[in-house]
Amino acid sequence: MRFPSKALATLAVAVLTVTAAQAGPLDKTECIAPAKPGGGFDLTCKLAQSALLNGKYISDPMRVSYMPGGIGAVAYNAIVAQRPDENNTIVAFSGGSLLNLAQGKFGRYNENDVRWLAAIGTDYGAVVVAESSPLKTIADLVAAIKADPGKVVFGAGGSVGSQDWMKAALTARAAGLDPKSMRFVAFEGGGEAITALQGGHVQVYSGDASEAEEQMKAGAKIRVLAVLADKRLEGTMANTPTMKELGYDVQWPIIRGFYMGPKVSDADYKVWQSTFAKMMATPEYDKLRSERSLFKFALTGKELDAFIAERMTTYRALAKDFGLKVAQ
């Protein structure tokens, strides 16, 4: 049976219309990690990738792409200015992203220029050295700094004023060193910094506990001297002391989560929000999160917006305390 060409054209349009109508925000999903592979943003995206697929919230594996530059600035600007309405794209962020925003490091954009989607867990800062380092304890590090500050080079993902710099600065200040005198090397993400640490190019890495643990699982020859938490962590880090218990009041919790473009529709945003809320309430998600050394911290929607606003106020005050530029 033959159909007139006009009928075929009408049928083709109808098929395309139905296909477009069926395409939703959870189809062909993408997570952008705003750094090179191997760091905390990568870990964040891969947690969502596993949890969404394993829980059957998406039918195809989420694509993880990398957009390094400015420790999140390039990705933030790209989403706001060039890809504001992509309903199937989420971008990883951390407390460091918020700290950079507080200092105006993302250019003309601020925290109100994206849609904050979900906080999926929390991590803590860590003081890390190479496995071969003569620095075996925080006491050794403090002694080395006091003996010759110029021989102790800190390395981290991010420039002066970044989250990892702030952790290094707080650690150095606790050891009696003026942070402005601290030798510091900036890297584009934690993966690069850990490579430099193992190569002896820097002596101390001020990173994240979960990131360090994942790197050690992958074979990295590193050692964690202390974590910047209020109490000892569970699991493989249970024997690692906190800076607090060693007599140094240095704590740095690290939120991890996702945001979306500012022009994503309310309906599509709601799909993502409800999906994350449902997913994070399951034992299966708790298992995946804990396997990546992240601790429970689940917020979406207005609760997350309120948390972001509070953090921005705190980070602006902290930046001012260290004599850094503060964005209003």
- Number of H helices and E strands in the chain, helices first, is 11, 10
DSSP output for 206-233? EEEHHHHHHHHHTT--EEEEEE-SSS--
- Domain shared by 182 and 193, yes or no: yes
Q: Which of 253, 277, 294 is the last residue before a domain boundary? A: 253
- Domain shared by 172 and 249, yes or no: yes
- Domain shared by 34 and 55, yes or no: yes
- Domain shared by 248 and 279, yes or no: no
- Domain shared by 133 and 239, yes or no: yes
pLDDT, position 39? 80
**Element holding 42 (H helix, E strand):** helix 40-54
Give the 3-state secondary structure of residue 126.
Answer: strand
pLDDT, position 3? 45
Residue 310 located in a structural domain: yes
What distances in angstroms separate CA 10 from CA 15, 19, 20, 23, one per listed residue? Answer: 9, 14, 15, 20
Residue 63 located in a structural domain: yes
Q: How far apart are the first and last CA of the chain?
A: 70
Q: For residue 168, give the CATH number of its domain.
A: 3.40.190.10
Give the 3-state secondary structure of residue 155.
Answer: strand
pLDDT, position 70? 81
- Domain shared by 292 and 242, yes or no: no
Residue 218 located in a structural domain: yes
Q: For residue 307, give the CATH number of its domain.
A: 3.40.190.150
- Domain shared by 176 and 249, yes or no: yes
Residue 20 located in a structural domain: no
Segments of the chain scoring below 70 in pLDDT: 1-23, 328
- Domain shared by 169 and 243, yes or no: yes
pLDDT, position 13? 43
Domain count, the chain: 2
pLDDT, position 6? 52
Residue 9 located in a structural domain: no
Residue 5 located in a structural domain: no
Tell me whether strands 63-66 and 30-33 are parallel, antiparallel or unpaired. parallel
Q: Which of 253, 279, 302 is the last residue before a domain boundary? A: 253
For the record, the structure tokens of 321 come out as 């305390």
Q: Which of 229, 253, 277 is the last residue before a domain boundary? A: 253
Q: Are 245 and 230 in contact (CB under 8 A)?
A: no
- The domain of 264 spans 27-122+254-321
pTM: 0.77
Residue 10 located in a structural domain: no
pLDDT, position 34? 95
Rounded Cα–Cα distance for residues 290 and 177 (Å)? 35
Residue 6 located in a structural domain: no
CB atoms within 10 A of CB 263: 13
